[in-house]
Structure 1
Amino acid sequence: MEAHLSSTTTKNKSPNIPDSNGIIAAMLEKSGRHLFGPTSAPLQPPKQQVISIADLTAKLSYLTSAELKLVKKAFHFSDEAHLGQYRQSGEPYITHPLAVAELCAEWKLDVHSIVSALLHDVIEDTGRTHAELVETFGPKVAELVDGLTKLDKLEFQSHAEAQAESFRKMFMAMAKDIRVILVKLADRTHNMRTLGVMSQSKRHRIAIETSEIYAPIAHRLGLNMIYRELEELSFHNAWPMRSEVLKKAVKKARGNRKETVNKILEDVRKWFEKSGLEVEIYGREKTLASIYHKMKSKHLSFQDVLDVYGFRVIVSTNDECYRALGILHAMFKPMPGKIKDYIAIPKLNGYQSLHTTMVGPFGMPIEFQIRTKIMNQVANAGVAAHWVYKDGKEEMSEVQKRAHQWLQSLIDLEDASHDSQEFLEHVKIDLFPDSVYVFTPKGHIRGLPRGATALDFAYSVHSDLGNNCVAVKVNGNQLPLRTEIKNGDIVEVITAPYSHPNPTWLTFVRTGRARAAIRHALKTKSLGESIQLGERLLLQSLRHQEVDLGLISEGIWEKILHWTGARNRHEILGDIALGRRSAPVLAKRIELFVEEDAGNHQQLRLDKQDWQEKELSSKPIHPILVVDGSEGMSVAYSTCCHPIPGDTIIGYLGKGEGLHIHTDDCSYFRKAHRKDPDNWIEINWAPEVNREFEVPLRVDVTNAKGVLAKVANSITSADANITHVSMDDSFSESSATIKFGVQIKDRVHLARVIRTLRHNMDVVRVSRTKSH
């Protein structure tokens, strides 16, 4: 089947906008598809060319005649849609979707995948619509193509937001149908193979995107061949000079290594022949990218990396894998701690092999990977190795099950993420290739990224388990939540219904799932607290304007929403609490709307008598804002001056930071107030405060035996809790200074603590300190 392309008409595209076909890079630059998409300025004049589908159909022998007919129909549809469009190299654009389809055919993907590969750019780059694809090829193909299409019809506030939103669109389509990412990886692979015609800056940008996103996805799905190729092409295009230097060094070293490698191979073959085990043995060449990344991450020299010789042994059964391992260990001495069994416990992407590192001839380390032929096929092709898509009638392979579990976790990440950029951050975290494997108390294995903590484990089981986690037991021992888990650990999670995520958890969790769940819980809780605080601040300002907040009509609220551009009143109140919106300015605008609303004028205005009654009944609470310590994360008590009930205090509304409470003698407050007086508001303590506050105390003592215990006992006897203790480095034989963090209720309680300390014979001086 052939297509004759003789037309020289092209799309009207601006040549000045950066070009890219990546989901992550330059997604909405509609006119910038010169890199992989159609171009109006081919590098060479277009000539009449004959594009043949013969190579593709030759690879599709596994399809039925009816399915082949549909593929040919898709080819002609795509050919006609892209007629007159050319790639940057000058080739007709149809050569690209044809090459993508051939890559998919090598993986033996189903007919819908092949058809989608041929059509993957028709919605984005031609006048064809989703409805046309549904009518011509059915809803399934149209859905796959739509998942591969970038978001180029919407407007975003930033380039990064556009990138992230298109990326999220692709991943959600991928979570519904894994064929979306398989076709996309084939698309990206062909694009990377033909990247040479672009400028170095564009090659660098696209290569970095590929190495950060697409190569890790291929690795996560077990597509090792594609992963290695994408890594190698990314390294070559991102760092061409480094690639060339390494290439020459490897070529030079290969001649010296060849004799050693051949000798090891020959000796190992003879040893297996004597043992009566049939095997296939290959030497493994390290890619330039793997050499470079290993040198960089482990701070090794080129010679140190290249001195490790790698080999692969292929056998027929699982039992023979372990037998081969024993034969090799009888031949060479294994290195302690360098034996890994990925057959009993496969990697997260389904990879299975036995790995062992041994001391070879001349004391050099040699690495062997031992696997069956099926394992080797899975190691190279991953989720595409045993492709079955027969309406769910076929049972999924273990690799596909693992891929499916990971894709389902993306849906959880999407639900917990606040926006597209946050979602992208979480997905990148979850693309870590290295893993540890731990056990639940019932013996189930769970894989997590290396460096994951016990809290990450809790969130990997279920978000509610993580949110309500109060403690963990690792191998029967109760340990902190931040404990880093190791291979083989048995982890038990202890929960309590009153427990909630703490912001400090974000400082030590490692998985995107845990980070997204914690942020979601914190934002949900913080939003409710911010709304309450914002309402109190607006109420205070409205009372100065003599307007009753509770009687404002829906009509006036609609005017307020239109004026502010907010989606709802909760967003307005939250913004006030976070300092993003001024309560006095909004109150004045509401007053104007009240004046305009003649019908509601009398009921909205507080008459003089009502106003005075409200003021008198609310004193000393109004017009000053009152805090009682129960405001949660929307109010922060500053650590520069450690305010406590009884102190004269003032509040600062920083943009996006919420309300910060300072003492009125705080040096930070005095400096900041001069620069930004409008964001400071008057604050008072409520008559009843229902929490304790930390106060730093400086205690000068005589340097005697047991003095620390005596001073600590004095503090606790005054019903105060010690949160931390530190000693000054500059102490003499006769005296010392001890710094305590002490939890107290108010200034009266603090006075009692200080008085108790002064009665201690070992205490010379006590003072409340501030860190400014």
Structure 2
Amino acid sequence: MPKTATHQNAELFKPSSALASAPLLPADSEDSALSLRLKEYLKPQDIAQVWEAYRYAYQAHEGVVRKTGEPYITHPVSVACILADLHLDVPTLLAALLHDVVEDTDVSTHDIKEKFGLQVAELVDGVTKLDKIEFQSASVAQAENFRKMLLAMSQDVRVILVKLADRLHNMQTLEAMRPEKQKLIAKETLEIYAPIANRLGLNDIYQSLEDLSFQYLYPMRFRAISKAILAARGNRKEVVSKILESIKQQLITLNIDAEVSGREKHLYSIYKKMSGKTTAFSQIYDIYGFRVVVKDLSSCYLALGALHALYKPIPSKFKDYIAIPKANGYQSLHTTLFGPFGTPIEVQIRSTEMHNIADAGVAAHWLYKASDAQLTALQQQTHQWLQRLLEIQSESVDSLDFLEHLKIDLFPDEVYVFTPKGKIFALPKGATAVDFAYAVHSGIGNSCVAVRINQELAPLRTELHNGDHVEIITGSLAKPNPAWLNYVVTGRARAHIRHFLKSQQSTESAHLGERMLNQALRALHVEPSQITDDHWQKLIRDYGLKKKSQILTEIGLGKRQNVMVAHQLLAMLEVQEVPEEGAIGKFLGGKFFDKIFGKTVKPLDTITIRGSEGMAVQFAQCCRPIPGDPILGFINKDKGLVVHTHDCPAIRKFRLDPDKWLDVEWEPESQRLYKTNLNLTVANQPGMLAKIASGIADAGSNIDNVSVEEEDGSAYANLYFTVQVKDRIHLAELMRSLRKIPDVVRINRTKGNPAGNGAKKSSQ
């Protein structure tokens, strides 16, 4: 924590030794900061290995000076000090000392492997890969950096421990950087590194990274809150001392062996509370809290009862993180009490083992090597989290997409819900039933159709709350809905939905592109079977792509013209006749008038619209075509083929650009339903809406949307329906049926959205 955070010096709130400043050379002297830390838990032969790595790093960095003016070796030694305070193993300490050697000197990873072994070399290599593009301003570079970090973490979580210690020391010495660089690094730290430290349970590192980032991102706010805390500490010192002594005496009276200490909220935590609730500093009473550490689990609940007997608990301010631990393995009892003078008191109660895990997090695996079940569970949770991130990474379209999902996944606020079999799932606050379905399994998420929450059916978008029992109902033919992206909050769910939709669109677009290419080839008197794999491979190389399906997908999405691709394939065919001059000809009105290779070019065949092409073929919202309507197809970049009616006003300007449109026709026997709009003028009488809805249902149609024009005191009202019909014949039958209803004055089909504003143009 920075020196300006003066609240560390309070008598009741001692700072952690884990965050010491950089030691002075020589680090391998008997009384150096690193030496004293190593002697606490390492054997002499292990310490000897550390000094060997130190001397190796010292020689490699000799003569190099940091921007702070210190010898460069002070940085890796400081990183090693932070990790030694966590009592991490020897390979991690060696990697900490050597983590910049490969990046900044002539030493190679192979040299590290020969000197210190494969394990250390892999750790150094993992951290080195992360640093190669660090601190670049380009968002893509930053995103790719974190993608690489994830891959390194998945192999060995110690990579991220070294990286976090490295980032912490860089933040502690950030004053040497330019102001714009300070803000850039601080923002990156606050958004990514601090949440990762929190997710891994490294509490001291997490809070320090947040406070240091806060100091550089909002220096004036940082100073103002620091001064306010200093002033408040003096005003409240007597109250805090009295509460502390009361808690100690109460526990002694009931023969509960415990260590009681005061703790102070870190600066950024106070700032978040002030900004989140728009609260003044004077209104925040829980700046000070108290921690009770007892010997075992049962004593936690005994201590809780003792404190509730001493001070009255505040209802709804009790959380049992022992029965339901946080996702990072954190366990404690949290309670808020009415203290003396009406001051709220926050108290945390935990066992010694829980306290160790709360401080060291995932590092407790190396700090306390034991068969403790909770440590094993913590490692499993961390492994599962890393595996989830790997899954998100594989489902992400690109690095920026992955970074977005990673930030979502690092949200700290959580709700805990139960499966029908009683298994607990931790989800971010605001998570819905769809998020839960994907948390259980991607296959469950992709096929979910409904949910039971606490034995009652509920919409999939329902937000989950603590203690909910959730049962997902799946369907064999179900698939993700694009609308889910509007309300899911987990990175896992968002990544899976986007991946499915992207894959589906690519598959559908490839099928459409193949049909369009075959259409263009046949117009050139070439059967698609004449195009061999060799021709395709050459075309793939010419385009700089990897496979044939990519070309077909780009045709289907409108990114490449089928006619031009057909010409390029045709040029590769071995022909006897010499092409005539001007052989390419013009594509006008859907026809070729020139000759190519001595053959008259036929008009392009008509594309048949089946209605089952999914996202590759879209029906324009401006005219809502249905089978039976004369239609045209427009190629839209990224949207693919958009189908309009012939008389749609929105397409008039595109008729002069024939390269953009195709002749399309409906398949004779389409089995799906299509949306269209109806405008009804009816007598403004009770029950009219119900009569019309019943008439629509009797005609075998579905209502997709309905709206009513605002009443103006008239005897008549306008109703706007979006209905689903099979074709124009079905629509005509529906309209005849509705005309028979008494008090229906007028009915007509409208183009555009059913909002009473007539047809609306939509972009192509």
TM-score, normalization by structure 1: 0.87
Give secondary structure in 1 for the equivalent of 2:129: coil
CA change 1:400–1:65 in 2 (3 A) is same
Q: Is it true that 1:124 corresponds to 2:103 in the alignment? A: yes
Residue 728 of structure 2 aligns with which residue? 747
Residue 337 of structure 2 aligns with which residue? 358
Give secondary structure in 2 for the equivalent of 1:280: strand
Q: How does 1:207-286 map to 2 (within 5 A)?
A: 207-286=186-265
The answer on whether the counterparts of 2:133 and 2:142 sit within 8 Å (CA) in structure 1 is no
CA change 1:67–1:271 in 2 (3 A) is closer
Matching residue's letter, 2:326: K
Residue 36 of structure 1 aligns with which residue? none
Aligned mates of 1:220, 1:731 — CA distance in 2 = 58
Task: Give the counterpart of 1:478 among 450, 457, 461.
Answer: 457
Residue 58 of structure 1 aligns with which residue? 36
Residue 38 of structure 1 aligns with which residue? none
Residue 628 of structure 1 aligns with which residue? 610
Task: Give the counterpart of 1:92 among 28, 51, 71.
Answer: 71
Q: Is it true that 1:462 corresponds to 2:402 in the alignment? A: no
Give secondary structure in 2 for the equivalent of 1:385: helix
Aligned mates of 2:335, 2:501 — CA distance in 1 = 45
Q: How does 1:339-738 map to 2 (within 5 A)?
A: 339-387=318-366, 396-594=375-573, 597-598=574-575, 622-671=604-653, 678-732=659-713, 734-738=715-719
CA change 1:445–1:724 in 2 (3 A) is same
The answer on whether the counterparts of 2:27 and 2:35 sit within 8 Å (CA) in structure 1 is no
Aligned residues between the structures? 714
Q: Residues 99-120 of structure 1, C-alpha deviation per residue, up to 9 Å, x if partnerless?
A: 1111111111111101111111
CA change 1:392–1:279 in 2 (3 A) is closer
Residue 686 of structure 1: CA displacement?
Answer: 2.1
CA change 1:53–1:169 in 2 (3 A) is farther
Matching residue's letter, 2:689: L
Give secondary structure in 1 for the equivalent of 2:91: helix
CA change 1:636–1:121 in 2 (3 A) is same
Matching residue's letter, 2:125: D
CA change 1:220–1:599 in 2 (3 A) is farther
Aligned mates of 2:28, 2:276 — CA distance in 1 = 46
Give secondary structure in 2 for the equivalent of 1:422: helix
Matching residue's letter, 2:35: T
CA change 1:373–1:289 in 2 (3 A) is same
Residue 167 of structure 1 aligns with which residue? 146
Aligned mates of 2:370, 2:547 — CA distance in 1 = 44
Aligned mates of 2:131, 2:204 — CA distance in 1 = 32
Q: Which moved more, 1:374-383 or 1:605-614?
A: 605-614
Give secondary structure in 2 for the equivalent of 1:60: helix
Residue 439 of structure 1: CA displacement?
Answer: 1.0
Matching residue's letter, 1:344: A
Q: Which moved more, 1:515-524 or 1:56-65?
A: 56-65
Aligned mates of 2:577, 2:288 — CA distance in 1 = 86
Residue 392 of structure 1: CA displacement?
Answer: 11
The answer on whether the counterparts of 1:474 and 1:490 sit within 8 Å (CA) in structure 2 is yes
The answer on whether the counterparts of 2:623 and 2:648 sit within 8 Å (CA) in structure 1 is yes
Give the unaligned 5+ runs of structure 1. 1-47
Aligned mates of 1:367, 1:285 — CA distance in 2 = 10
Residue 267 of structure 2 aligns with which residue? 288
CA change 1:731–1:629 in 2 (3 A) is farther
The answer on whether the counterparts of 1:232 and 1:288 sit within 8 Å (CA) in structure 2 is yes
Aligned mates of 1:147, 1:105 — CA distance in 2 = 20
CA change 1:49–1:463 in 2 (3 A) is closer
Residue 126 of structure 1: CA displacement?
Answer: 1.4
Q: Is it true that 1:101 corresponds to 2:48 in the alignment? A: no
Give secondary structure in 2 for the equivalent of 1:83: coil
Q: Residues 513-548 of structure 1, C-alpha deviation per residue, up to 9 Å, x if partnerless?
A: 111122222222222111111112222233333333
Residue 97 of structure 1: CA displacement?
Answer: 0.9
Residue 307 of structure 1: CA displacement?
Answer: 5.8
Matching residue's letter, 2:686: K
Give the unaligned 5+ runs of structure 2. 1-23, 585-591, 753-759
Aligned mates of 1:152, 1:654 — CA distance in 2 = 41
Aligned mates of 1:637, 1:613 — CA distance in 2 = 34
CA change 1:158–1:118 in 2 (3 A) is closer
Residue 421 of structure 1: CA displacement?
Answer: 2.2
Residue 129 of structure 2 aligns with which residue? 150
Matching residue's letter, 1:662: H
The answer on whether the counterparts of 1:308 and 1:365 sit within 8 Å (CA) in structure 2 is no
The answer on whether the counterparts of 1:546 and 1:611 sit within 8 Å (CA) in structure 2 is no
Residue 764 of structure 1: CA displacement?
Answer: 0.7
Give secondary structure in 2 for the equivalent of 1:292: helix
Give secondary structure in 1 for the equivalent of 2:713: coil
CA change 1:133–1:348 in 2 (3 A) is same
Residue 391 of structure 1: CA displacement?
Answer: 13
Aligned mates of 1:49, 1:266 — CA distance in 2 = 43
Q: Is it true that 1:134 corresponds to 2:113 in the alignment? A: yes
Give secondary structure in 1 for the equivalent of 2:529: helix
The answer on whether the counterparts of 1:110 and 1:389 sit within 8 Å (CA) in structure 2 is no
Give secondary structure in 1 for the equivalent of 2:634: strand
Residue 49 of structure 1: CA displacement?
Answer: 7.2
CA change 1:153–1:437 in 2 (3 A) is closer
Matching residue's letter, 1:345: I
Residue 323 of structure 1 aligns with which residue? 302
The answer on whether the counterparts of 1:308 and 1:366 sit within 8 Å (CA) in structure 2 is no
Q: Residues 140-160 of structure 1, C-alpha deviation per residue, up to 9 Å, x if partnerless?
A: 1111111111368899x9933
The answer on whether the counterparts of 1:388 and 1:394 sit within 8 Å (CA) in structure 2 is no
Give secondary structure in 2 for the equivalent of 1:566: coil
Residue 760 of structure 1 aligns with which residue? 741
Residue 470 of structure 1: CA displacement?
Answer: 1.7
Matching residue's letter, 2:725: I
% same residue: 50
CA RMSD, 1 decimal: 3.0
CA change 1:395–1:296 in 2 (3 A) is closer
Give secondary structure in 2 for the equivalent of 1:760: coil
Aligned mates of 1:118, 1:601 — CA distance in 2 = 71
Give secondary structure in 2 for the equivalent of 1:697: strand
The answer on whether the counterparts of 1:341 and 1:353 sit within 8 Å (CA) in structure 2 is yes
Aligned mates of 1:285, 1:151 — CA distance in 2 = 34
Residue 614 of structure 1: CA displacement?
Answer: 12
Residue 53 of structure 1: CA displacement?
Answer: 5.5
Aligned mates of 2:235, 2:668 — CA distance in 1 = 84
Aligned mates of 1:630, 1:592 — CA distance in 2 = 34
Residue 736 of structure 1: CA displacement?
Answer: 1.6
Residue 279 of structure 2 aligns with which residue? 300
Give secondary structure in 2 for the equivalent of 1:295: helix
Q: Residues 369-392 of structure 1, C-alpha deviation per residue, up to 9 Å, x if partnerless?
A: 111222222212211234269899
Give secondary structure in 2 for the equivalent of 1:150: helix
